[in-house]
Chains A and B, each alone.
Chain A
Amino acid sequence: MSTSFVCLVKEQFTIMIISLGRTVAALGVAGLFLFSGQGWTIAADGPVAAPPTSSIEQALTQVTSEDESIRGAAVRVLIEQGDVSLVPRLEEIRATADRSIRQAIKPLMDLLKNRAKLTSPSTDVRRSAAADLGSSGNPSVIPWLDAARANEPNKWVRYTMEESVALIKLASDDPSIKAAAADKLGELGSQNGVPVLKQLVAAGDGAEATESQKTVAKAAGVAIDRIETWGVWSNVIETFFRGISLSSILLIMSLGLAIVFGLMGVINMAHGELMMVGAYATFVTQQCFTAWFSSDVFDWYFPAALPVSFLVAAVFGWVLEATVIRFLYGRPLETMLATWGVSLVLMQAARVYFGDLTAVIAPVPLRGGAQVMVGVYLPYNRIFIIALSIICVLAIYYTLFRSNLGLRVRAVTQNRNMSACLGIPTRKVDSYTFAFGSGLAGIAGWALTMVGNVDPGLGQNYIVDAFMVVVTGGVGKLAGTIVASLGIGGLNKLIEPYSGAVYGKVFILVLVILFLQWRPAGLFAMKGRDAD
């Protein structure tokens, strides 16, 4: 269980923990009864006396006993006195034992393994071990967790340990311990505790509830309130973050589209496929690094792929402009159809050449994420994309407003004929700008390899949204694109929890159409007579 669990934790720890919590809390209670047959005993504090080898040996033989009480006692001894070195021997016993004994030994082995993992060098492993121990519901592990916490450098592992201890104590027989644990869980904002706390509240509501049950229920109720308030806030923050993250993906995609649209009045339907080209360029760079360089420098493939994907996509775009779009000048609808044709060809070419599914391995610094608060977990790859979009915007601002090409682009965008009269080679400007816009698509593709697979349909996932961004933003200013992608991306994620992704999209389409009632040419329309 543990390896797959660790992987999962790496990817989606928050979601995992919430869903796990529900099942686990129930399991924990069940496990408790399984282990401590006659009821609750808090393990003695203080250092455990050096284990007399004989008692362990004795327990190892007793653990296969038919008598449940003997077996339970043996298991307890092994938990209290044993360590991970017993696992191979237990494994042996388990191989020959019958089903009920195997069932008794399995949790025991898990406990011992997890205990060993508490001192692992990896924080993720330590944390998941602590969570596992908490879900075992076995009170004997409390001293382990307390001891480990004292030496634990990582804040979030300490948090999980505390949470696990409180979860176990919550199942105690002593109402005062129970109430204190509920209080602790409330303080920790622990979503995992909610199911058990709710059971306690329900127990306190019953007609024949004892006085102590009522006190515990009261404490539990307060704790649930605290946790839920906290949950609302963390949810708000996470939604906000997801919205920003989607917005930046849309933004990186739309920037190239919008510049070209502003300049040439052309929507490049193959833009998504130029992104795909960028993503495959990244993939190929990765393959080259695997084949040619030692694994020490493997992670450098990713930065190396940035210029590669930009250039490859730019070349594709340049060729596309020179062979197709150039001849359709002034016919935007035909251009759309032709570029759509190109996109079909590119997609199928990728499918035939690369097959359906290829993935890029994220470089180490982009794996995992940062937990900033309880229940708020920000994956590094998303943070990376947000940062990249900001850099892209800055770079484009610089290009457009500080460079020679930018000056010309702006001139041609404003008035093509006049610029031509003043000696600006408008066709060259078109060609370079198109290549530049395509290169931006390549960068978008490069970034998208971090959030998904590289597959021929990569470009299709977000492209219609990107078109909407361009249409809503208008072509006059980059600010339009930025605001529109923030608006569409943010709204998308804001609505999603309430209406589901699909109806969120419906809602956005309706909103965009209504918005265009008010501003038919987008947020920032070109002013002047030439704007048609």
Chain B
Amino acid sequence: MSDRTTDTNRGGGLAFWAVGFILLVAMPLLNVLPPEDSWLHLSDFSLNRFGKFLAYGILALGLDLIWGYTGILSLGQGVFFGLGAYCMGMHMMLTIGKESVYGSDLPDFMVWNQFKELPLFWYPFYSFPVAVIGAVLVPMLFALVFGFFAFRSRIKGVYFAIITQALALVAWLVFNRNDTKLGGTNGLTDFKQVLGYRLSEPGTQRGLYILTVLCLGGAYLLCRWIIRSRAGRVLIAVRDSEKRVVFSGYTPANYKLFVFVVAAALAGLAGMLYAPQVGIITPAQIGVLPSLEMVIWVAVGGRGSLAGAVLGAVSVNYGRSVLTNYFPELWPFILGGLFVLVVLLFPDGLVGMIRKGKSLLSSRKTGEGKAAVSEGKR
């Protein structure tokens, strides 16, 4: 097993920098330099959309860490994503100021709902640093408390998946309510600026895109570092046989809690980057179904491979954005089919397929297929 994880990153150095260069330098340049009608030109819309996908990629990294490497299926990542996005969203709502439709200091939805004054918990979010730190810290704290109770009592496997799914449902219900004072069903939207930069400017969006790429790179390095550390080996061991880990004198609960919190932090970071780029965050983006879709990104890309997680997040979302445009009715069929197909036929996702292709080409000893199957256990 550990063989495989190192395998992912063999020669990964070059690829990492190459992909980093394309994402960080080439794509923004293609957006800025070529004239609009040139085929090389990357429209503002495309760049912005891609930035959104890459934000999802950050979340997928965290999910891969917890599911792909540690074998814990969390169906509630959307909650952490939402917490991050709402923290940032609250800050941006407050910076709208008098520009809002009703010209009030209060966010518009509060005016509709006839709140007289700002709820107390909104006040800290006037400050940008608080919003940024909160977007990561709030999901972490939440994951810490939830995970502490869950892992302490050895809730695992299917049980954990169901509990986290219930968490996603509950969060969705709570965020949908008006008396939570977070905008209800309509969520937070109509953002104008962040740190004085207008969100409607292509330049701001480009900046956000670059920031997202940098965060993604950082998150990738962090995850790789975790995986390669001793702790990472324990995580993989937990996935493969938790009992043996216990017998070897480790406390799996602590490691699981650690990885759950890291995954939550990455999801929060992703949400924080997502909100200003997309311009809206609603409960519909954090419920049961979105949380499950996040899992399928990782499955499609290839669980147990960090690059695969990002690849999956980008490709599934790209596919979604294209297909829902042309065949809106077909998308659920495709998504459902993907779930089934990937799980049944391609347990290692795109990365697994690429790797298989490679190994066929170099006609190395086969046997990896079998390894992949045995690995699929939980």
Contacts and interface: CB of A to CB of B under 8 A. Distances in A.
B247 to A, nearest CB: 14
B118 interface: no
B162 interface: yes
Given A324-B340, A349-B333, 19 more contacts: A265-B158, A267-B158, A324-B344, A330-B377, A333-B71, A333-B157, A333-B158, A337-B339, A338-B339, A338-B344, A341-B335, A344-B335, A347-B332, A348-B333, A464-B166, A464-B288, A470-B162, A520-B154, A520-B159
Interface string B306-330: 0000000000000000000000010
A491 to B, nearest CB: 14
A459 to B, nearest CB: 12
Contacts of A520: 153-155, 159
Nearest to B156: A520
Given A341-B335, A347-B332, A334 B154 contact: no
Nearest to B71: A333
Contact of B343 (A341, A343, A464, A503): A341
Contacts of A503: 174
Given A343-B336, A471-B162, A520-B155, A505 B170 contact: yes
Contacts of B243: 532
B97 interface: no
A422 B146 CA distance: 44
Contacts of B73: 333, 336-337
Contacts of B335: 341, 344
Given A343-B336, A471-B163, A513-B150, A334 B155 contact: no
A50 interface: no
A-B residue pairs, 10 tightest by C-beta: A341-B339, A344-B336, A345-B336, A348-B332, A341-B340, A341-B336, A338-B343, A517-B153, A333-B73, A502-B173
A342 interface: yes
Contacts of A324: 340, 344
Interface stretch (B31-39, B128-136, B189-197, B291-299): B291-299
A331 B149 CA distance: 25
Interface in A487-530: 502-503, 505-506, 509, 512-514, 516-518, 520-521
8 contacts: A265-B158, A328-B344, A341-B337, A344-B332, A344-B335, A349-B333, A464-B288, A514-B149
B378 A505 contact: no
A334 B161 CA distance: 11
A468 interface: yes
B103 interface: no
Interface in A334-383: 334-338, 340-345, 347-349, 352
Interface in A447-471: 464, 467-468, 470-471
Nearest to B332: A348
A516 B155 contact: yes
A331 B340 contact: no
A439 to B, nearest CB: 22
Interface string A254-297: 00000001000101000000000000000000000000000000
Of B154, B296, B299, B332, the most chain A CB neighbours within 10 A belong to B332
Contacts of A327: 344
A332 interface: yes
Contacts of A471: 158-159, 162-163
Contacts of B344: 324, 327-328, 338
Interface residues of B, number: 45
Contacts of B339: 337-338, 340-342, 344
Q: Is chain A's interface secondary structure helix, strand, loop, or mixed overall? A: helix
Contacts of A345: 332-333, 336-337, 340
Interface residues of A, number: 44
A267 B149 contact: no
A516 B153 contact: yes
A338 B170 contact: no
Nearest to A502: B173
Contacts of A330: 377
Given A265-B158, A330-B377, A502-B174, A337 B296 contact: yes
Contacts of B358: none
Interface string B85-126: 000000000000000000000000000000000000000000
Contacts of B158: 261, 265, 267, 332-333, 336, 471
B350 interface: no
B244 interface: no
Interface string A76-102: 000000000000000000000000000
B211 interface: no
Contacts of B153: 516-518, 520
A514 B148 CA distance: 11
A29 B153 CA distance: 63
Contacts of A337: 73, 292, 295-296, 299, 339, 343
A309 B253 CA distance: 44
A259 B159 CA distance: 16
Interface in B153-191: 153-155, 157-159, 161-163, 165-167, 169-170, 173-174, 176-177
B73 to A, nearest CB: 5
Contacts of B333: 344-345, 348-349
B169 A505 contact: yes
Contact of A509 (B155, B170, B292, B376): B170
